[in-house]
Amino acid sequence: MDNWFKTTLFMAAILALFMMMGGMIGGQSGMLMALIIGGGMNIFAYWNSDKMVLKMYNAQQVDARTAPELYGMVEELARNAGLPMPKVYVIDEDQPNAFATGRNPEHAAVAATTGIMRVLSYRELRGVMAHELAHVQHRDILISTISATMAGAISALANFAMFFGGRDSNANPIARIALALLAPLAASVIQMAISRSREFEADAGGARISGDPQALADALLKIEAYARGIPLHTAETHPATAQMMIINPLHGGGLQDLFRTHPRTEERVARLRNMSMVRR
């Protein structure tokens, strides 16, 4: 119920941003049109956002024949978690990273980069896949996938409002510029608020699914160390998708550090280490 509430709250916030920008573009009629478009986009995102993100990353589906180790690992962990077997994808990128997507556990997918499969040990990769399945188990993959696709749409509409807004309103160019800057920032704040707590919960859930908190802690440290020096080009082009990853894939500083969608890795690792101590 809590995650359904979060999803509904997020969709309402996105609609409010669409309506605000619609009002800037075309007054009351613009607000109504934005409401219709925003509602339609939310419905479309519910059914198709996972496919869009996987296509964006050129993810290739694999099975027990084409990727036996990865597929078998996910199969075992899904069984541990009491989940239906998700679809498994591989992304041909050097940066080590992974994410889960889908609208519910029955329509879920997990994706891993070729980089993460190279740099992590079997045990560490198992911890990462358990983390992603925890996202599926907690039913928060819909929130992250919709937020990734809709935040990009918010930015595009904000830019349109900046250049073409004001027909039925007294909005001046400064107000339109402010809107173009603040609306995407507002979408980022929504993502940030939802995402940080989810990562801690998925770390804990992944540790329980795998039975090995230490492996996930080691994996997080290794992924972050490698990710700092290896760009993930699709994430750089579509930064709204960065919050879906297990570790932030972006290299920018400034506001990206201030409005980070991932908790600090040191804190995540400390919590996992503590779980390991409690289990002994």
Pairwise CA distance, residues 196 & 267, whole Å: 12
Instruction: Tell me the domain boundaries of the chain.
Output: 2-279
Three-state secondary-structure class, residue 100: strand
And the tokens for 272? Answer: 């996992």
Output the known binding site.
131, 135, 199
Task: Name the residue with higher pLDDT: 172 or 203.
Answer: 203
**Would you state the pLDDT for residue 42?**
67
Residue 142 confidence class, pLDDT cut points 50, 70, 90? confident
| Per-residue pLDDT tens over the stretch 158-196 | 666 666 555 544 555 666 666 666 666 666 666 666 666
Task: Give the pTM.
Answer: 0.80
Q: What are phi and psi of 38, to 5 degrees?
A: -60, -40
213 pLDDT higher than 90: yes
The mean per-residue pLDDT over the stretch 90-102 comes to: 96
Supply the DSSP string of 47-99, one letter for each residue.
HHHHHHHHHHTT-EEE-TTTSHHHHHHHHHHHHHHT-PPPEEEEE--SS--EE
Output the known binding site for Zn(2+).
131, 135, 199
Residues with catalytic annotation? 132
And the tokens for 78? Answer: 């899904």
